[in-house]
Amino acid sequence: QVQLQESGPRLVKPSETLSLTCTVSGGSISSYYWSWIRQSPGKGLEWIGYIYDSGTTKYNPSLKSRVTISVDTSQSHLSLKLSSVTSADTAVYYCAREACYFDSRTCFYYFDYWGQGTLVTVSS
Amino acid sequence: DIQMTQSPSSLSASVGDRVTITCRASQSIDTYLDWYQQKPGKAPKVLIFAASSLQTGVPSRFSGSGSGTDFTLTIASLQPEDFATYYCQQSYNLPKTFGQGTKVEVK
């Protein structure tokens, strides 16, 4: 059974960098897309970006200038860095795996495994 | 970005009721539409992917339909464990976007 576990500081000061790690166990990190998603009361669920095991990344344009997602396949770790945070970045942060449902035409991706989420508060 | 709009935002229902939640995309997304259930303090859980495919282990009372811009999640007979918030999400284009959620509450 695949399990994802987010970890990192729960309190970050404004203008600093938020750093989280997602540890993947029970399955390979290779050959999957791995996303970070956050949820705040004001903005609902927001996709932050993904990384493929080769290191290919895509980010939400709304956050692109501040986000870095990386992967360490040897350690089965993903990481998220979000710079220059403000109170608007206070949210529960999730990591999630994307599964592919392949039909005759294409791959339909959906989030099949999620971490339990970690609340990060931005405050001085 | 593709905007996903769910309706209603909340609804009250009783055990045994048939519940329907709709999701509308701001442009055609074919069938690149998934449905998630979220309970308080928990991560979302996928119910339906590719608009109508039931995730393994999800009860058959859940079903999804639609294509293009209009989609529906139906719970055939609401059970006590189904009181939760439901989200639709499109994966047709990046960035992936979610609806604002529909909270199903006890009547």
Distance separating alpha carbons of residues A107 and A73, to the nearest angstrom = 23
Asked if B98 and A47 come within 8 Å (Cβ–Cβ), the reply is yes
Contact of A79 with A69, CB cutoff 8 Å: yes
Q: pLDDT band for position A3 (50/70/90)? A: very high
Give pLDDT tens digits for B46-69.
Answer: 999 999 999 999 999 999 999 999
Q: Best residue in B35, B96, B102 to probe A by mutation, most A CBs within 10 Å?
A: B96
- DSSP 3-state of B64: strand
Enumerate the residues of chain A whose CB falls inside 8 A of the CB of residue B42.
116
Distance separating alpha carbons of residues B35 and A92, to the nearest angstrom = 20
Length of chain B measured in residues = 107
Give pLDDT tens digits for A62-107.
Answer: 999 999 999 998 889 999 999 999 999 999 999 999 999 998 788 9
- DSSP 3-state of B20: strand
Mean pLDDT score of chain B, rounded to an integer? 97
Enumerate the residues of chain B whose CB falls inside 8 A of the CB of residue A110.
34, 46, 49-50, 55, 89, 91
Nearest to A108 among B32, B45, B100 (CB): B32
Residues 6 or more apart in contact with residue B87 via CB below 8 angstroms: A44, A45, B6, B35, B36, B38, B44, B98, B99, B101, B102
Enumerate the residues of chain B whose CB falls inside 8 A of the CB of residue A115.
43
Distance separating alpha carbons of residues A68 and B94, to the nearest angstrom = 17
Nearest to A44 among B1, B49, B100 (CB): B100
Closest C-alpha among A112, A114, A49 to residue B53 = A112
Give pLDDT tens digits for B57-101.
Answer: 999 999 999 999 999 999 999 999 999 999 999 999 999 999 999
Can the peptide bond before residue B44 be classed as cis, meaning omega within 30 degrees of 0? no
Chain B nearest-CA distance from A75, in A, is 24
The reported pLDDT for the residue numbered A118 is: 98
Chain B residues interacting with chain A (CB cutoff of 8 angstroms) = 1, 31-32, 34, 36, 42-46, 49-50, 53, 55, 87, 89, 91, 94-101
- DSSP 3-state of A89: helix
Give pLDDT tens digits for A24-55.
Answer: 999 999 889 999 999 997 778 999 999 997 78
Chain B nearest-CA distance from A122, in A, is 19
The reported pLDDT for the residue numbered A46 is: 98
The reported pLDDT for the residue numbered A105 is: 80
- Taking 80 as the threshold, does the pLDDT of residue A119 lie above it? yes
Distance separating alpha carbons of residues A60 and A57, to the nearest angstrom = 10
The reported pLDDT for the residue numbered A54 is: 74
| A53-59 average pLDDT score | 88
Residues pairing with B54 in the sheet: B48
Asked if B45 and A103 come within 8 Å (Cβ–Cβ), the reply is no
The reported pLDDT for the residue numbered A8 is: 97
Contact of B73 with B23, CB cutoff 8 Å: yes
Q: Does A58 contact B at CB distance below 8 Å? A: yes
Instruction: Name the H helices within A3-117.
Output: none
Structure tokens at B99: 């609806």
Chain B nearest-CA distance from A13, in A, is 24
